[in-house]
Structure 1
């Protein structure tokens, strides 16, 4: 049975739908948005945020978008790589599309970076397992046991 959603979540799904089927999931008191299995947006505190990275961050900043942040229990402010969508982009899917593409591309780059990192680590493990082992010198006790068996 589908999870009930609110009108703002439904609007955000509609805005992202030109990218493909959108799946949402409740998380941390808000909602996460996935396209093609990639986490690319979220709703928190009634605001819609899109994923950004080093390649796209400046575009969001230039448009006056503020980053998603929250306070920890210790009172420290944590800023994540998500920026509030421009107000005008919330008006229609065509206006959201360029911003949604930026977020999707950032999510894709993040996923590819994880795969490369995981693949590199797995490759290093395989190389270590398949590397020829160094011959070990026999210990004197082993030589004595071998001599005792022979003679």
Structure 2
């Protein structure tokens, strides 16, 4: 999985009124954080925003598919990220609306405990 740096830059620019977006490269894609909270991933297929049980109905209503990938043994796995609607790629207000759903899901997610150094 690769990602489009231009898309990452567009998301960061559009999200400026909400917070600072940072990126971490992961598995050929990019994970995006807003003020330290994970809210999106960017792949070669586009942007995917974090979802959860609270926001799933809104994503379903918009017809936004869940992020899925095939494991080496052929099994398909999915993650709690939803494909961004097409209007986010050229409308900053639409991007902020959908990204804000992802940010809220990220803020509701349980925090992972940090590993203790041995």
> Do both share a fold (TM > 0.5)?
yes
What's the counterpart of residue 50 of structure 2?
51
Q: 1:11 Cα deviation (Å)?
A: 1.4
Structure 1: runs of 5 or more not aligned: 119-151
Whole-Å separation in 2 of the counterparts to 1:34 and 1:102: 13
8 A contact 2:11–2:95 mirrored in 1: no
8 A contact 1:48–1:84 mirrored in 2: yes
* 2:29 pairs with 1:30: yes
* 4+ residue segments displaced more than 3 Å: none
Q: Could you report, residue by residue, the CA deviation over 1:108-149 in whole angstroms, capped at 9, with x for unpaired residues? A: 000xx337xx6xxxxxxxxxxxxxxxxxxxxxxxxxxxxxxx
- How many residue pairs are counted as aligned between the two chains? 110
1:14-93 → structure 2 map (5 Å cutoff):
14-93=13-92
TM-score norm. by structure 2 comes to 0.84
Larger fraction in helix:
1
Structure 2: runs of 5 or more not aligned: 114-118
* 2:111 pairs with 1:114: yes
TM-score norm. by structure 1 comes to 0.67
Larger fraction in strand:
2
Greater relative contact order (CA < 8 Å, ≥ 6 in sequence)? 2
Q: 1:18 Cα deviation (Å)?
A: 2.6
8 A contact 1:20–1:36 mirrored in 2: yes
Q: Which one has a bigger Cα radius of gyration?
A: 1
